[in-house]
Chains A and B, each alone.
Chain A
Amino acid sequence: MKRRSLLLLPAALAASALLASACGRQDDSLTVVRQRGSLRVALDPSFPPFEMLAGEGSLQGLDVELAQLISAQLGLDLDLRSISFDGLYDALAAGETDVIASALPYDPLRTQDVRYSDPYFEDGVVLIAPPGSSGDDLNAMNGSLAVEIGSEASLLTRQAAEGVTILQFTSEPEVLAAVWTGKAGHGLANKVSACLYRRDGTSLTIVRQVSRTPYCLALRAQDASLGQAVSDALRQVLAGDAWKQAKTRWLGDGC
């Protein structure tokens, strides 16, 4: 078996060279990054708790720690770049960054140009209930459902069954407070908002996720070798204690 593999090696190398040549570009993305010694990671620090500016102007947040863990896993220095969200994909295309790590949702319409990692977090709308509740069927609920006027969650109330009273509030904190105090039987809110509310000392129940927005890392589609290395590093990071601790620190337990 081993001998056969060795015999096939020259043919495989020739085939891959031919493929690289046919594609018109040799993928040396991992080599380039290793020679540079640093991984360039772009983010827009306006989206807590994933990325934000600390008081003294330094970058912090869950994505910042994720980038630190991945670059350490790869044995590279981390070169964080602050770029406006609108310019992140252009920066990637123009070679101004190697990776985007900015609470970036997977976008199936960009996969011709962009290589996404596996999701490392799922944001979205969650169904919440007062402490100790466990009711998990929105349609079967008998009672009231709190939502913020005009929010994404308010559009989902159309799925609610007849007989459910929709309670409208002018801000998301009011929704969270109404559910926590039992003024509303259930509520719909952004997942991270609910996580942060729990982290801050309430025992609000997150019953289940109603909509899903997966956050991924993004690289250039043609950077296959770097993409593979980053994906491997991400998998190892997500399985490790350091990531779990970072997640708990930024989002609280159970998020």
Chain B
Amino acid sequence: MNIFLKTLERDLKMAFRNPSSFLNPLMFFVISISLFPIAISPDAETLMNIAPGIIWVITMLSVLLSLNSLFHYDYDNGILEQIVISHHSLSLVLLAKTTAHWVLSGLPIIILSPLLGITLFLDFKSIYILMLTLCLATPCLSLIGTIGASLVVSIKNSSMLLSLLILPLYIPILIFATSAVSQSQFDLPINGQLYFLGSILIVSLISTPFISAVALRISME
């Protein structure tokens, strides 16, 4: 467990000393969403209808943007070699790196989402549901994304390949999350969607660190 905390501490410390690495995808998130009212229509009803889709699609793209650099830096410096040959569980170290990735990409999005929800005229109940879906699903984006990042770590300029690998796996999350927020706008029940998101989170949490570890060992060969 010590190595989990040490890895988490190291990754966060490095990110805060070089903030552009995690601020760029966040800036992309904020700027893209704030351009929609200008580009489409300032009409409250139009924006309210498309808001769940906009916020969720941009969330996925900004997480995808940050995934690219998850392992590349450590791979180029030889630190990943030391992690792989360490006597510690590789899955545990990768889970720590994924947690750091979520703290730097998913968590700020959850914190910023009410503000951006208001700019897209979402009501308070929908904003609450939006935050709930983000809390349940952004960790899944980081966990599933780690598998893709592990697979392409040794390939230069692999952002397109990473997107092709990971985006299909994100689709169920997108469907359940956007439908939960949309249905909440019409006071329809959303328990089903939230249960699905919760179960995806549990399955991802249990399985992805092991799959990522195998993928990383194969990529490092």
Partners in one complex: no
